[in-house]
Amino acid sequence: MSFQDNSGDIIFDIVLTDEGRRRLAKGDGTFNIVQFALGDDEINYELYDANASAAQQDLEILQTPVLEAFTNNIASCRSKLVINPRNDLLYLPVVKLNNQVESLTKLHATLNQYVVAVDSATEDSNKSTVATTHVAFDSQGLLVQGFLLGFSLDGAGGYIRVDAGIDNSAVPIGSAIPDRNESQYMVEIDNRLGRIVSVDGLTRASAGGRIDDDNVATYIFSQNRDTKFVKNNSSTSLVGQVIDGARSTYLEFKIESSLDLRQSNFLFQRFGGQASMVNAANATPANNVRFIDSIVKVTGMNSGYSVNVPVRFVKLA
Protein backbone atom coordinates (compact mmCIF):
# COMPACT_ATOMS: atom_id res chain seq x y z
CA MET A 1 0.00 0.00 0.00
CA SER A 2 1.26 3.48 -0.84
CA PHE A 3 0.10 7.02 -1.57
CA GLN A 4 -0.24 8.58 -4.99
CA ASP A 5 0.92 12.11 -5.74
CA ASN A 6 -2.19 14.21 -6.16
CA SER A 7 -0.50 17.58 -6.69
CA GLY A 8 -1.30 17.70 -10.40
CA ASP A 9 -3.86 15.84 -12.48
CA ILE A 10 -6.64 13.91 -10.72
CA ILE A 11 -5.94 10.17 -10.88
CA PHE A 12 -8.46 7.36 -11.07
CA ASP A 13 -7.05 4.17 -9.58
CA ILE A 14 -9.63 1.41 -9.77
CA VAL A 15 -9.59 -2.23 -8.69
CA LEU A 16 -12.16 -4.99 -8.89
CA THR A 17 -13.65 -6.52 -5.76
CA ASP A 18 -13.32 -10.25 -5.12
CA GLU A 19 -16.74 -10.79 -6.65
CA GLY A 20 -15.80 -8.68 -9.65
CA ARG A 21 -12.65 -10.69 -10.27
CA ARG A 22 -14.59 -13.92 -9.94
CA ARG A 23 -17.08 -12.84 -12.57
CA LEU A 24 -14.35 -11.55 -14.88
CA ALA A 25 -12.53 -14.88 -14.58
CA LYS A 26 -15.53 -16.70 -16.07
CA GLY A 27 -14.50 -15.34 -19.46
CA ASP A 28 -17.99 -15.83 -20.89
CA GLY A 29 -18.60 -12.21 -21.89
CA THR A 30 -21.16 -11.59 -19.15
CA PHE A 31 -18.90 -9.39 -17.01
CA ASN A 32 -20.33 -5.92 -16.64
CA ILE A 33 -19.69 -3.33 -13.92
CA VAL A 34 -23.04 -2.31 -12.41
CA GLN A 35 -21.97 -1.10 -8.95
CA PHE A 36 -19.02 0.79 -7.55
CA ALA A 37 -18.06 2.53 -4.32
CA LEU A 38 -16.20 5.75 -3.65
CA GLY A 39 -14.41 6.63 -0.42
CA ASP A 40 -12.66 9.61 1.13
CA ASP A 41 -10.70 7.94 3.94
CA GLU A 42 -7.61 10.07 3.37
CA ILE A 43 -9.30 13.48 3.24
CA ASN A 44 -9.15 15.88 6.17
CA TYR A 45 -11.89 18.44 5.58
CA GLU A 46 -10.56 20.62 8.40
CA LEU A 47 -7.91 21.75 5.89
CA TYR A 48 -10.57 23.94 4.27
CA ASP A 49 -9.49 27.55 4.78
CA ALA A 50 -12.47 29.88 4.72
CA ASN A 51 -10.19 32.90 5.14
CA ALA A 52 -8.23 32.27 1.94
CA SER A 53 -9.16 33.51 -1.50
CA ALA A 54 -11.86 31.58 -3.34
CA ALA A 55 -9.32 29.70 -5.46
CA GLN A 56 -7.22 28.72 -2.44
CA GLN A 57 -9.84 27.69 0.12
CA ASP A 58 -9.93 23.99 -0.77
CA LEU A 59 -6.53 23.71 -2.47
CA GLU A 60 -4.91 21.70 0.33
CA ILE A 61 -7.81 19.24 0.29
CA LEU A 62 -7.60 18.78 -3.47
CA GLN A 63 -3.83 18.18 -3.25
CA THR A 64 -3.97 15.64 -0.40
CA PRO A 65 -2.14 12.44 -1.44
CA VAL A 66 -4.60 9.59 -1.96
CA LEU A 67 -4.09 5.89 -1.31
CA GLU A 68 -3.52 3.51 -4.16
CA ALA A 69 -6.52 1.28 -4.67
CA PHE A 70 -6.18 -2.05 -2.87
CA THR A 71 -8.41 -5.07 -2.41
CA ASN A 72 -8.24 -5.80 1.31
CA ASN A 73 -11.96 -5.68 1.98
CA ILE A 74 -11.74 -5.04 5.70
CA ALA A 75 -9.55 -1.94 5.29
CA SER A 76 -10.46 -0.37 1.96
CA CYS A 77 -13.11 2.33 1.54
CA ARG A 78 -13.81 2.60 5.24
CA SER A 79 -15.58 5.94 4.72
CA LYS A 80 -17.88 5.37 1.77
CA LEU A 81 -19.54 8.29 0.05
CA VAL A 82 -23.32 8.02 0.05
CA ILE A 83 -26.04 9.67 -1.99
CA ASN A 84 -29.10 11.13 -0.31
CA PRO A 85 -31.76 12.75 -2.52
CA ARG A 86 -33.03 14.89 0.35
CA ASN A 87 -31.49 18.34 0.71
CA ASP A 88 -33.18 19.26 4.00
CA LEU A 89 -31.15 16.99 6.28
CA LEU A 90 -28.85 18.82 8.66
CA TYR A 91 -27.56 15.71 10.44
CA LEU A 92 -26.87 12.15 9.34
CA PRO A 93 -26.74 9.10 11.62
CA VAL A 94 -23.44 7.57 12.66
CA VAL A 95 -22.24 4.33 14.20
CA LYS A 96 -20.09 4.56 17.35
CA LEU A 97 -18.34 2.08 19.60
CA ASN A 98 -19.99 2.11 23.03
CA ASN A 99 -17.52 1.21 25.78
CA GLN A 100 -19.41 3.08 28.48
CA VAL A 101 -22.71 1.28 28.93
CA GLU A 102 -21.26 -1.09 31.57
CA SER A 103 -17.88 -2.34 32.76
CA LEU A 104 -18.00 -5.43 30.51
CA THR A 105 -18.07 -3.29 27.35
CA LYS A 106 -15.06 -1.17 28.26
CA LEU A 107 -11.79 -1.35 26.37
CA HIS A 108 -8.76 -2.73 28.17
CA ALA A 109 -7.53 0.28 30.13
CA THR A 110 -3.87 -0.11 29.17
CA LEU A 111 -4.03 -1.62 25.68
CA ASN A 112 -7.07 0.35 24.48
CA GLN A 113 -8.27 -2.84 22.79
CA TYR A 114 -10.67 -5.67 23.46
CA VAL A 115 -8.66 -8.72 24.51
CA VAL A 116 -9.98 -12.16 23.56
CA ALA A 117 -8.61 -15.02 25.67
CA VAL A 118 -8.52 -17.91 23.21
CA ASP A 119 -8.42 -20.96 25.50
CA SER A 120 -9.37 -22.07 29.01
CA ALA A 121 -5.85 -21.73 30.41
CA THR A 122 -5.65 -18.12 29.30
CA GLU A 123 -9.04 -17.06 30.59
CA ASP A 124 -8.53 -19.02 33.84
CA SER A 125 -12.12 -20.18 33.70
CA ASN A 126 -12.26 -21.83 37.14
CA LYS A 127 -11.64 -18.45 38.81
CA SER A 128 -10.62 -20.21 42.02
CA THR A 129 -7.04 -19.05 42.51
CA VAL A 130 -4.81 -16.17 41.63
CA ALA A 131 -1.64 -17.33 39.92
CA THR A 132 1.03 -15.70 37.80
CA THR A 133 -0.87 -16.93 34.76
CA HIS A 134 -3.98 -15.14 35.91
CA VAL A 135 -4.66 -12.68 33.08
CA ALA A 136 -8.44 -12.46 32.96
CA PHE A 137 -9.77 -12.34 36.53
CA ASP A 138 -8.89 -10.44 39.67
CA SER A 139 -8.60 -11.84 43.20
CA GLN A 140 -12.39 -11.72 43.66
CA GLY A 141 -13.00 -13.66 40.46
CA LEU A 142 -14.31 -10.60 38.65
CA LEU A 143 -13.48 -10.18 35.00
CA VAL A 144 -10.82 -7.60 34.28
CA GLN A 145 -11.97 -4.72 32.09
CA GLY A 146 -11.55 -5.38 28.41
CA PHE A 147 -11.45 -9.19 28.45
CA LEU A 148 -13.69 -11.36 26.30
CA LEU A 149 -13.84 -15.07 27.05
CA GLY A 150 -13.34 -16.61 23.63
CA PHE A 151 -13.40 -20.19 24.84
CA SER A 152 -16.00 -20.76 27.56
CA LEU A 153 -18.88 -18.76 25.97
CA ASP A 154 -21.03 -19.27 29.07
CA GLY A 155 -22.58 -15.85 29.15
CA ALA A 156 -19.79 -14.47 31.33
CA GLY A 157 -17.07 -12.13 30.20
CA GLY A 158 -17.00 -8.94 28.23
CA TYR A 159 -18.70 -8.12 24.96
CA ILE A 160 -18.65 -5.50 22.20
CA ARG A 161 -21.42 -2.99 21.62
CA VAL A 162 -21.89 -0.53 18.75
CA ASP A 163 -24.60 2.16 18.85
CA ALA A 164 -26.28 4.00 15.98
CA GLY A 165 -28.07 7.34 15.90
CA ILE A 166 -27.63 11.07 15.35
CA ASP A 167 -24.74 12.19 17.51
CA ASN A 168 -25.89 15.75 18.01
CA SER A 169 -28.04 17.11 20.81
CA ALA A 170 -29.81 19.39 18.32
CA VAL A 171 -31.94 16.33 17.48
CA PRO A 172 -33.45 15.41 20.86
CA ILE A 173 -33.29 11.93 22.33
CA GLY A 174 -36.49 10.11 21.41
CA SER A 175 -36.88 11.85 18.07
CA ALA A 176 -37.49 9.78 14.97
CA ILE A 177 -34.64 9.29 12.50
CA PRO A 178 -36.09 9.71 9.00
CA ASP A 179 -34.97 7.49 6.13
CA ARG A 180 -31.85 6.05 7.72
CA ASN A 181 -32.89 4.28 10.91
CA GLU A 182 -30.21 1.62 11.35
CA SER A 183 -31.92 -1.77 11.04
CA GLN A 184 -29.02 -3.80 9.62
CA TYR A 185 -25.36 -4.15 10.45
CA MET A 186 -22.49 -5.81 8.63
CA VAL A 187 -19.64 -7.28 10.67
CA GLU A 188 -16.34 -8.30 9.05
CA ILE A 189 -13.76 -10.39 10.92
CA ASP A 190 -10.74 -12.51 10.02
CA ASN A 191 -12.25 -15.99 9.92
CA ARG A 192 -8.94 -17.58 10.89
CA LEU A 193 -9.08 -15.84 14.25
CA GLY A 194 -12.66 -15.86 15.45
CA ARG A 195 -16.40 -16.17 14.94
CA ILE A 196 -19.29 -13.92 16.00
CA VAL A 197 -21.56 -15.19 18.79
CA SER A 198 -24.34 -13.68 20.90
CA VAL A 199 -23.63 -12.11 24.28
CA ASP A 200 -25.13 -15.09 26.13
CA GLY A 201 -22.88 -17.43 24.13
CA LEU A 202 -25.80 -19.59 22.99
CA THR A 203 -26.14 -18.41 19.39
CA ARG A 204 -23.37 -18.72 16.84
CA ALA A 205 -23.94 -16.41 13.91
CA SER A 206 -23.53 -17.73 10.38
CA ALA A 207 -21.54 -15.95 7.70
CA GLY A 208 -23.60 -17.81 5.12
CA GLY A 209 -20.54 -18.75 3.07
CA ARG A 210 -19.46 -15.10 2.75
CA ILE A 211 -15.73 -15.69 3.29
CA ASP A 212 -13.48 -14.06 0.72
CA ASP A 213 -9.98 -14.86 -0.49
CA ASP A 214 -8.51 -12.72 2.29
CA ASN A 215 -10.22 -15.01 4.84
CA VAL A 216 -12.54 -12.17 5.85
CA ALA A 217 -15.94 -13.47 6.94
CA THR A 218 -18.94 -11.14 6.52
CA TYR A 219 -21.93 -11.39 8.85
CA ILE A 220 -25.22 -9.59 8.24
CA PHE A 221 -27.48 -8.87 11.24
CA SER A 222 -31.05 -7.57 10.87
CA GLN A 223 -33.16 -6.01 13.60
CA ASN A 224 -36.25 -8.15 13.00
CA ARG A 225 -34.41 -11.43 12.43
CA ASP A 226 -31.37 -11.37 14.72
CA THR A 227 -32.94 -10.16 17.95
CA LYS A 228 -30.07 -11.44 20.10
CA PHE A 229 -27.67 -9.16 18.24
CA VAL A 230 -29.61 -6.06 17.12
CA LYS A 231 -31.78 -4.27 19.67
CA ASN A 232 -33.71 -1.03 19.79
CA ASN A 233 -32.06 1.67 21.88
CA SER A 234 -34.96 3.11 23.86
CA SER A 235 -32.82 4.52 26.67
CA THR A 236 -33.30 8.20 27.47
CA SER A 237 -30.42 8.28 29.93
CA LEU A 238 -27.26 10.29 29.40
CA VAL A 239 -25.25 7.75 31.40
CA GLY A 240 -23.59 4.90 29.54
CA GLN A 241 -24.57 6.26 26.13
CA VAL A 242 -22.41 7.59 23.29
CA ILE A 243 -25.11 9.00 21.01
CA ASP A 244 -25.99 12.54 22.12
CA GLY A 245 -29.12 12.91 20.03
CA ALA A 246 -31.79 10.65 18.57
CA ARG A 247 -30.97 6.99 19.07
CA SER A 248 -31.65 4.17 16.67
CA THR A 249 -30.50 0.63 17.43
CA TYR A 250 -27.41 -1.04 18.81
CA LEU A 251 -25.48 -4.19 17.94
CA GLU A 252 -23.86 -6.35 20.62
CA PHE A 253 -21.79 -9.50 20.23
CA LYS A 254 -18.91 -11.58 21.53
CA ILE A 255 -16.06 -13.26 19.69
CA GLU A 256 -15.45 -17.00 19.84
CA SER A 257 -11.81 -17.92 19.28
CA SER A 258 -11.07 -20.22 16.35
CA LEU A 259 -9.93 -23.80 16.68
CA ASP A 260 -6.66 -22.84 14.98
CA LEU A 261 -5.82 -20.38 17.77
CA ARG A 262 -6.83 -22.79 20.52
CA GLN A 263 -4.91 -25.83 19.34
CA SER A 264 -1.96 -24.38 17.46
CA ASN A 265 0.56 -21.56 17.72
CA PHE A 266 1.12 -21.34 13.96
CA LEU A 267 -0.90 -18.15 13.40
CA PHE A 268 0.59 -16.52 16.49
CA GLN A 269 4.08 -17.23 15.18
CA ARG A 270 3.23 -16.03 11.69
CA PHE A 271 1.23 -12.86 12.39
CA GLY A 272 1.69 -12.10 16.07
CA GLY A 273 4.21 -11.54 18.81
CA GLN A 274 4.79 -12.06 22.52
CA ALA A 275 4.28 -9.75 25.48
CA SER A 276 3.86 -9.82 29.25
CA MET A 277 0.37 -9.26 30.60
CA VAL A 278 -0.07 -7.77 34.06
CA ASN A 279 -1.51 -9.82 36.90
CA ALA A 280 -4.65 -7.92 37.90
CA ALA A 281 -4.47 -9.15 41.50
CA ASN A 282 -1.08 -7.76 42.44
CA ALA A 283 0.06 -5.73 39.40
CA THR A 284 3.08 -7.99 38.83
CA PRO A 285 4.01 -9.21 35.33
CA ALA A 286 2.34 -12.44 34.35
CA ASN A 287 3.76 -15.17 32.16
CA ASN A 288 4.33 -14.24 28.56
CA VAL A 289 1.39 -14.44 26.21
CA ARG A 290 1.28 -14.83 22.47
CA PHE A 291 -0.92 -12.26 20.75
CA ILE A 292 -2.34 -11.26 17.40
CA ASP A 293 -3.70 -7.76 16.83
CA SER A 294 -6.63 -7.42 14.47
CA ILE A 295 -9.71 -5.34 13.84
CA VAL A 296 -13.40 -6.14 13.52
CA LYS A 297 -15.16 -3.80 11.12
CA VAL A 298 -18.80 -2.92 11.86
CA THR A 299 -20.83 -1.06 9.21
CA GLY A 300 -24.34 0.32 9.45
CA MET A 301 -25.93 -0.81 6.21
CA ASN A 302 -28.47 2.01 6.06
CA SER A 303 -26.16 4.89 6.95
CA GLY A 304 -23.00 3.45 5.35
CA TYR A 305 -21.06 4.53 8.45
CA SER A 306 -18.45 2.13 9.80
CA VAL A 307 -16.20 1.74 12.82
CA ASN A 308 -13.09 -0.38 13.32
CA VAL A 309 -13.04 -2.25 16.64
CA PRO A 310 -9.49 -3.02 17.87
CA VAL A 311 -9.12 -6.62 19.07
CA ARG A 312 -6.17 -8.55 20.47
CA PHE A 313 -6.26 -12.36 20.62
CA VAL A 314 -4.07 -13.69 23.45
CA LYS A 315 -2.85 -17.13 24.51
CA LEU A 316 -0.52 -18.09 27.32
CA ALA A 317 2.88 -18.84 25.84
The pTM of this model reads 0.80
- Quote the CA–CA distance of 129 and 300 in Å, as a whole number: 42
- Measured CA angle at 307 (ends 302, 312), to 5 deg: 140
Task: Please state, as a whole number, how many other Cβ atoms lie within 10 Å of the Cβ of residue 140.
Answer: 9
How many other C-beta atoms lie within 10 A of the C-beta of residue 74? 19
| Range of lowest pLDDT (14-23, 64-73, 127-136, 169-178) | 127-136
Q: What is the 3-state secondary structure (H, E, C) of the chain?
A: CCEECCCCCCCCCCCCCHHHHHHHHCCCCCCCCCCCCCECCCCCHHHCCCCCCCCCCCHHHHCCCEECCCCCCCCCCCCECCCCCCCCCCCCCEEEECCCCCHHHCCCCCCCCEEEECCHHHHCCCCCCCCCCCCCECCCCCECCCEEECCCCCCCCCCEEEEEECCCCCCCCCCCCCCCCCCEEEEEEECCCEEEECCCCCCECCCCCCECCCCEEEEEEECCCCCCCEEECCCCCCCCCCCCCCEEEEEEEEEEECHHHHHCCHHHHHHCEEEEEECCCCCCEEEEEEEEEEEEEEEECCCCCEEEEEEEEEEEC
Residues 260-271 have a mean pLDDT of 95
Tell me the per-residue pLDDT of 143-201, one tens digit each, with 9 for 90 and over: 567 788 899 887 778 899 999 999 999 999 988 886 778 999 999 999 999 999 999 99
- More confident: 150 or 87: 150
Q: Which pLDDT does position 281 carry in this prediction?
A: 47
Q: What is the mean pLDDT of the segment spanning 216-223?
A: 94
pLDDT above 60: residue 135: no
Task: Please say whether the beta carbons of 151 and 119 come within 8 A.
Answer: yes
